[in-house]
Structure 1
């Protein structure tokens, strides 16, 4: 039995709790949640778990692994405390860090002595996983990758921490690091140049939080050049929740194209429109022409347990297998670092109006920093 300790039981923390409850051989033994309302919800989900007053208190409990689902700006300092006190295996929600000047602190964790898995749920959405598995065969080698997310605005969270760049890391880090992770995963390559245009056009313009207007962006385009010549593009719009599908991913090569269409959270689908959409994967060969559509249904119990098309459950299944020595860590500290750093590069490009060369940045990971851990 893997006994989890959870740091942060807000909206995402509760999704993790519901999915851990579906896992054979895993349970939540203890948790930390300073907000009274969120702690009450956690207690309803975890009547037999112990609520701890602090991270230090949690580390004194009989637990086997830690999940960090606190606000973004707390992830790195909490990892540092854990590394010093009791370096247990970690599943850390994205992003790993929120500002370029924190990169040196992240580098100091490269030799963390236990597994570190960064929570990139989008990898494990069943239609996206199917696309990744079949991409090379359908395309004959990927040359272009496009990711489009048309979704709802940022939800209300405790203290509205997600409304401000200083706490969230900014939209390209907080929201889009998932997509930059997918780019590297699908292309199996690292970026060399990032070009972006983004801003705040519609959402949160009239809000004031403690007298301050939110500065989080709600739309943008990002183009990324990769080392072996492939190109990737992200289109983000966070005032487009009327779309039938929330995420659409397409990869194209000389032989054809394959796409994944992923619906948004089923709880947001209007009941008067009938059943929510079912995810799709469409393979479109050039010769002979003829798109082939396959529906990818997801277990209703997994859809009810979270907002990520069943991905959180499958992520935890793989994490537990890694802890049991049955599989490797699939989303490493280096992967999580790259995803956040690409988001920071995109924000830099959008702010300056200039393309950003990765080689000139001091906050991206270098292979040498991970040589010891990889070996």
Structure 2
């Protein structure tokens, strides 16, 4: 197969990051873009002046040279757009998270999985952040088998998106789907096990509480605790706070087992780091054995060019590299539709637990076996 020639569906904030990272790949280019918003379309045309701007997904798929697709549209459009692609021209797809937003969509997802003839890769960039990848690689040896996993994200509020679609649970699936499906995916990936029970508490405390759009008040949450029990006997916890942008590190992940502890510290986007504080922090991986005691700290620098290309610590680039190999048949898809289902299902279960005050147990009525 020749190089990847992308057709892009959606060039908002995340789509723009994908454009910058695809430009850094070898044997890859963007040749067609569908973006209905005029402002974002203009930015995309400026970033990739050689790309053809089209007015619909149908017109995008009619560009014969396109041999793979990226979906970076609003959450609630992902499954519908995948179905349209499947009906017209089922090319390899990298689809942004979350894969879907409504439990009622599970049968549609099952049908897609059963019949789609090309690779579909669900974008879970956090797996590919260099410090997170290093931690995952060393976790079993450092811990002797993980029994407790904690993920903390202390960050800035939701950014402004086209049409303010991300201010409402009905569009996003809820914060624990929209924002946190990454972390639930990490939990399953790191622990190599599926969840059996989810307990959560969360809500909207500080952000967007006075924002009203077309007469509707924003209802997106900005903080939560989530505890997940896994079939392996391990347990995991997520702590999310979206009014903590003053933190030195944005993500802090720790795993503990009988032999010791391993953790990684990941800074937020460099563009948000205050200039008066000098250079932004460098990611770290810390291994702390129980015997002999004493933490061992390793800095994990990321190529400055990759940091400049996006807000995800270089992970968008590394994810595209792997997607490129999967499209060419050199490796399997690493984040498949089942992984995308589980990440959303865990988020929906956490949303429900927080809303009802009750634990939610698996399997859910919309089973992953049917996804």
Task: Calculate the TM-score normalised by the size of structure 1.
Answer: 0.97
Give 2:177's aligned residue: 173
- Alignment-derived partner of residue 98 in structure 1: 101
C-alpha deviation, 1:307, in angstroms: 0.2
Change (3 A) 1:364 1:306: farther
Contact 1:338–1:364 at 8 Å: present in 2 too?
Answer: no
**Contact in 2 for aligned 1:337/1:364 (Cα 8 Å):** no
| 1:142 paired to 2:127 | no
2:61 corresponding residue in structure 1: 59
Match of 1:71 in 2: 74
Structure 1 SS opposite 2:84: helix
User: Following the alignment from structure 1 to structure 2, what is the Cα–Cα distance between the partners of residues 148 and 89?
Assistant: 33
Whole-angstrom CA distance in 2 between matches of 1:57 and 1:358: 42
Structure 1 residue aligned with 2:90: 87
The whole-number CA distance in structure 1 between the counterparts of 2:250 and 2:112 is: 35
C-alpha displacement of 1:326:
1.1
* Partner SS, residue 197 of structure 2: strand
C-alpha distance in 1 between matches for 2:179 and 2:362: 20
Is 1:151 aligned with 2:158? no
User: For residue 27 of structure 1, what is the aligned residue in structure 2?
Assistant: 29
Give the Cα separation in 1 of the matches to 2:20 and 2:144.
40
Match of 1:365 among 360, 364, 368: 368
Shift of 1:363: 2.3
Question: What CA distance in whole angstroms lies between the structure 1 residues aligned with 2:195 and 2:88?
Answer: 35
Q: Alignment partner of 1:142: what SS?
A: coil
Q: CA separation in 2, counterparts of 1:313 and 1:228?
A: 32
Residue 327 of structure 1, CA deviation:
1.1
1:236 corresponds to which of 211, 236, 240: 240
Among 221, 225, 228, which residue is 1:217 paired with? 221
| 2-structure distance, mates of 1:72, 1:22 | 26
CA distance, structure 2, for counterparts of residue 193 and residue 108 of structure 1: 27
Aligned mates of 1:83, 1:323 — CA distance in 2: 16
Structure 1 unaligned segments of length 5 or more: list them: 371-375
TM-score where L is the length of structure 2: 0.98
Aligned counterparts of 1:74 and 1:86: Cα–Cα separation in 2: 18
Does 2:317 align with 1:309?
A: no
Check if 1:203 corresponds to 2:202.
no
Q: Matches of 2:224 and 2:355 in 1, distance apart?
A: 12
1:364 Cα deviation from its structure 2 partner: 3.6
**Corresponding position of 1:252:** 256
Shift of 1:228: 1.2
The equivalent residue for 1:373 is none
1:347 aligns with 2:351: yes
1:100 and 1:319 map into 2 onto residues whose CA distance is: 27
Q: Does the 8 Å CA contact 1:59/1:86 hold for their aligned counterparts?
A: yes
- Give CA deviations for 1:17-52 in whole Å, capped at 9, x if unaligned: 000000001000101000000000000001000011
The CA deviation at 1:148 is 0.2
Deviations 1:144-200 (Å, cap 9, x if unpaired)?
000000000000000100000111110000000000000000000000000000000
Give the match's secondary structure for 1:215.
coil
Please tell me whether residue 300 in structure 1 is matched to residue 304 in structure 2. yes
Please give the root-mean-square deviation of Cα atoms over the aligned residues, in Å. Answer: 0.7
| Distance in 1 separating the partners of 2:352 and 2:109 | 20
2: CA distance between counterparts of 1:344 and 1:251?
A: 24
Query: Which runs of 4 or more aligned residues in structure 1 lie more than 2 Å from their structure 2 counterparts after TM superposition?
Result: none
